[in-house]
Amino acid sequence: MRHMETIIKKIDKNHENTDIIGEAGRILKEGGLVAFPTETVYGLGADALNEDAAKKIYAAKGRPSDNPLIIHITNMKALEKIVSEIPEKAKKVAEKYWPGPLTMIFNKSDIVPYGTTGGLDTVAVRMPVHEIAREVIDAGGGYIAAPSANTSGRPSPTKAEHVAEDLTGRIDMIVDGGPVQIGVESTILDVTVEPPMILRPGAITKEMMEDVIGEVTVDKTLIKPDSKTVPKAPGMKYRHYAPKADLTIIEGPMEKVVEEINRRAKEKTDAGYKVGVIGTEETVDSYLSGDVKCIGTRADETTIAANLFGILREFDDDAVDFIYSESFDTAGIGSAIMNRLLKAAGHHIETLV
Ligand code: AMP
Ligand code: MG
């Protein structure tokens, strides 16, 4: 792909940044690519209604062409234009959780090109709450396709530096709005089926949605990933979030986990390998060998979600050979954390009793 100059502009919170937003909007309207922060991860934006622009996203990320894009909007009027109908339950969920870290799958309207939906008759739509994201979307015409702004397969970017690392020279602009808040991608809820089904876990949990619309199911490939069934969200079947090192998750009683990780870390270090350890505030001081990183506190798992992808990237930068990680509860945001961590580990998890 042709090398292009990537403009990087930092937005300051108390802003007088209309010129930066204006420039981002102009690039998007001309069919270019702009990365920008959202509350979940950084997105790589293109005009979703311009098939050629959407195609550039696939080229820049090295993304398989059957992996559809999420269209980002800022208001319900925009939703009406890109979907053929809005189910009652979707309206209720939208009322409660939009704008926010939730994507819903609808039947698409004719104005949405197949280049955006990966050839599907359905379309994924999200309404982010992040102020800079909303300004960029509006400036760019209101319908912005924006997958995570990473090279396909790498951990999603949670700060502008991650985007720059992967996509400098491949996209037109990066809007740097500092680190994101949530750190894992949006929950995906398919509202074209009854009952609605979660295709990807995120910060908006099953329980939170069931409070509003009753029964919600979960794509069974998320629960039992080694089943032969293909995930309903095409992107979920790909190798993802994968660090370069061999990552193993150890679960079980905390004391035994620490002991086992210590044993393995020492064994590999003694054999001359570089080892990374993912611990928590509760345990980091108990680890004795390797490059030990604290991912957050079990007392507030949102801290763990926020640090996960950044830590995986740091281990890539440090070129570690083996990573050992503790395991996390799957309640609340924990289901999203474990979904991403298991994918990063190629589902290599060992249980101590
Ligand atoms: P990303 O934006 O990179 O986090 O990836 C978007 C995710 O949404 C991928 O897993 C896609 O497969 C999924 N997705 C997008 N559009 C659809 C759709 N129409 N039906 C099912 N999944 C979708
Ligand atoms: Mg992604």
pLDDT at residue 2 tops 90: no
Strand segments (E) across 118-245: 122-126, 144-145, 173-176, 187-190, 197-200, 217-218
The response to whether residue 67 sits with its C-beta less than 6 Å from ligand 1 reads yes
Q: Give the pLDDT confidence of 301-347 residue by residue, as tens digits.
A: 999 999 999 999 999 999 999 999 999 998 999 999 999 999 999 99
Least confident of 8-12, 159-163, 303-307: 8-12
Region 274-301: mean pLDDT is 97
Q: Is 199 in the pocket of ligand 1 (CB under 6 A)?
A: yes
Q: What pLDDT was estimated at residue 237? A: 75
50: pLDDT strictly greater than 70: yes
Which tokens in the block code for residue 121? Answer: 């008759």
User: Which tens digit of pLDDT belongs to each residue from 65-121?
Assistant: 889 999 999 999 999 999 999 999 999 999 999 999 999 999 999 999 999 999 999
Average pLDDT over residues 167-172: 98
pLDDT attached to residue 231: 82
Tokens for 103, please give them. Answer: 């994507």
Q: What is the mean pLDDT of residues 178-191?
A: 98
* The predicted structure's pLDDT at residue 16: 67
Cα torsion angle, 199, 203, 207, 212, sign:
negative
Residue with the smallest CA separation from ligand 1 atom 2 is 147
H helices within the chain, ranges in order? 18-29, 51-61, 76-82, 88-97, 114-117, 131-139, 160-167, 206-213, 220-223, 254-270, 301-317, 334-344
Tell me which amino acid residue 158 is.
Answer: T
**What pTM was computed for the model?**
0.95
The Cα angle at residue 66 between residues 141 and 35, in degrees rounded to 5 = 40
Cβ contacts of 6 within 8 Å, gap of 6 or more:
164, 167, 168, 169, 170, 171, 172, 173, 174
- Residue 239: the pLDDT is 67
Segment 193-243, tens digit of pLDDT: 999 999 999 999 999 999 999 999 999 888 776 656 788 888 777 767 778
* Cβ 235 under 6 angstroms from ligand 1: yes
Residues 243-283 pLDDT 10s: 889 999 999 999 999 999 999 999 999 999 999 999 999 99
Mean pLDDT of 33-54: 98
What integer pLDDT is reported at residue 1 of this predicted model?
A: 61
The CA 33 to ligand 1 mean position distance, Å, reads 18
Q: Hey, what are 38's tokens?
A: 């959202």
124 ligand 1 Cβ < 6 A: yes
pLDDT at 210: 98
Intra-chain end-to-end CA distance of the chain, in Å: 51
Q: Quick one: pLDDT at residue 220?
A: 86
Output the CA–CA distances (angstroms, integers) from residue 170 to 2, 3, 4, 58, 291, in the order listed.
Answer: 8, 6, 6, 11, 32
Q: What is the pLDDT of residue 233?
A: 84
Q: Which one-letter amino acid corresponds to residue 126?
A: R
Interstrand relation of 70-72 and 144-145 (parallel, antiparallel or unpaired)? antiparallel
Q: Which atom of ligand 1 is nearest to the CA of 200?
A: 10
CB–CB of 205/198 below 8 Å? no
